[in-house]
Amino acid sequence: MKTNLLTFCIFLSSFFSISLAYGDDIPTQGRWDDEDYRSITALPPTLSIDNNILSIEFKDALDNLTIHITDENSNIIYENTFSGAMGDIIDIAVNGMRTGTYQVILTHKLGWLVGEFENQ
C-alpha cells in the first residue's frame, strides 16, 4: 500500500513540475486547418511565456512556420522561420524589448494564429 501511495505521489509531482515549466499560456485566435493542403491536418503550435522567454511548442511536426513579433504600433520586432518535430520547443528571449503589449503572429501554409502578451 505504501509503495502504491509513493508511486502515485511521484507521478503527481512530476505532472505538476512539467506543467509549471511552460509558464503562462498565450491564447491564440486565427484560422488553422486548410483541408486543401492535406487530408490529416497537423495540430497548431501553442504559445506560452515565462518571465522573459516566449515559447512556441510544436504539437505536430511542421516545416516553415514563420514567427513574427510586433509591437503596439505594428512594427516587426522579430521575424524568423522554423521547422520542428512534434514536441520541439522554440524559445525566444524578449527581455530586450521595451515594456508593453506585443503580438505573436504564426503563419504557415495550414493557416495563421495570433496571440498577445505583455512584456514587463
pLDDT tens digits, 1-30: 556 554 554 544 544 444 444 579 999 999
Is residue 103 within 8 Å of 69, Cβ to Cβ? Answer: yes
* Three cell numbers, residue 101: 503589449
CA dihedral (25, 88, 33, 48) in degrees, to 10, reads: 10
pLDDT in tens, 69-115: 999 999 999 999 999 999 999 999 999 899 999 999 999 999 999 99
Banded pLDDT at 41 (limits 50, 70, 90): confident
- Tell me, what DSSP letter sits at residue 38? -
Number of Cβ within a 10 Å radius of residue 67: 19
pLDDT for the residue 18: 44
Cβ distance 39 to 22 under 8 Å?
no
C-beta separation of 32 from 110 below 8 A: yes
Q: What is the CATH number of domain 24-35+44-119?
A: 2.60.40.3080
User: What are the sequence ranges of the domains in the chain?
Assistant: 24-35+44-119
Q: Residue 69: which of 9, 13, 115 has the closest Cα? A: 115
Say if residues 48 and 57 touch (Cβ distance below 8 Å): yes
